[in-house]
């Protein structure tokens, strides 16, 4: 799969060139620090269980849900002041 997996989350190490800083990905994605923060918090509670790809999948799912209900919320509040 070309660019469809979570390999873009891989960081450089002393012995490995990750995709986060690879030329094709330069300035293409944002929010790595948010994923890193969530990962750090999860590691405190359940070490070595949740991957960054899992976090990204759940964030994508929750974003779709949030956007899909947004029009209903806007519609509700637009008439709540009448």
Please report whether residue 1 resides in a domain: no
Please report whether residue 25 resides in a domain: yes
Residue 14, pLDDT score: 93
Residue 1, pLDDT score: 43
Count of domains observed in the chain? 1
Residue 20, pLDDT score: 84
The residue segments making up the domain with residue 41 are 6-79
Q: CA-based Rg of the chain, rounded to a whole angstrom?
A: 18
Write the DSSP symbol of residue 13: B
Whole-angstrom distance, CA of residue 77 vs CA of residue 45: 38
pLDDT, mean of each 10-residue run, the chain (82 residues): 65 88 81 88 92 86 81 61 54
Please report whether residue 75 resides in a domain: yes
């Amino acid at each position: 799969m070309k660019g469809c997996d979570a390999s873009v989350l891989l960081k450089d190490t002393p012995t490995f060139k990750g995709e986060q800083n690879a030329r094709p990905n330069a300035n293409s994605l944002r929010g790595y620090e948010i994923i890193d923060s969530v990962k750090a918090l999860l590691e405190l509670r359940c070490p070595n269980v949740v991957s960054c790809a899992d976090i990204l999948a759940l964030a994508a799912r929750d974003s779709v849900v949030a956007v899909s209900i947004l029009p209903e919320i806007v519609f509700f509040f637009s008439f709540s002041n009448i």
